[in-house]
Amino acid sequence: MQVLPKSAIGVAIRYSLNQWHKLIGYVDSGDTNIDNNRAERAVKPFVIGRKNWLFSNTANGANASAVLLQHYRNSESQWPHTFQLPDVLTGRVTEEA
């Protein structure tokens, strides 16, 4: 079967052949994810925050929003050894022994 190089199937075949070494690298390495869903989920709060920061009235307000989001994201990775957000906001944070 012959395919014209500039046809849609010809372009697809040429692309797959040019990317073959990457496909083989993925197949040979069993610890590589086939998608980036985990990374996308990790960035989603920042994207939502970025939209919300557009409506901050001052630079200090935007900075406060960024600090709260950073605390939230850091606490997710260290759960259950984190402070509760209401305690942080009211200043009732105590160090655990």
Q: What's the pLDDT score for residue 8?
A: 95
- CA distance linking residue 24 with residue 27, whole number of Å: 5
For the chain, give every domain's residue range. 1-32, 37-90
Which backbone phi and psi does 94 adopt, to 5 degrees? -120, 145
Q: What's the pLDDT score for residue 81?
A: 54
pLDDT tens-place values along the chain, 97 residues long: 899 989 999 999 999 999 999 888 888 887 877 888 888 887 787 777 666 666 677 888 778 777 877 777 776 666 555 555 556 566 665 555 4
Q: What's the pLDDT score for residue 97?
A: 41
CB atoms within 10 A of CB 63: 12
Q: What's the pLDDT score for residue 91?
A: 63
